[in-house]
Amino acid sequence: MLAYFRAVSIVLFGSVYYRQLPYDILGPFASRIFPLLLLVALVGGGLGIANEKKWGFRLAVSAALYSVVATLWIGIRYNFELGFLLRLMFDLVLVVLLLHPQSKEYRRIWFS
């Protein structure tokens, strides 16, 4: 559910946070594609987890880790403000919930 929430927040509040990292590393074209890929990965990962698919879990974890890295990149590059801390909190909560031992136990039971 949190993956869906993060995807909706990207659509509603913009994807500026997720554009700077690919822009600095790969250039302007990548900065337009990466937020769309993140959006697709979050929604696809949520759907995959809901349908008990291994690829859904992997997709959600990779999208959550990219979100944390991109948010930290923008926070370190610019200033730390309330919006940054709020985004970072939701990104870290998603990573922690996906990688928590009870989530791993759930994955071991249902995805095997």
- The closest alpha carbon to 63, from 90, 30, 24, belongs to 90
| pTM recorded for the entire structure | 0.80
Write out the two tokens for 104: 């791993």
pLDDT tens digits, 56-107: 889 999 999 988 888 888 888 777 777 778 888 888 988 998 888 776 666 5
C-alpha 88/C-alpha 8 separation (Å) is 16
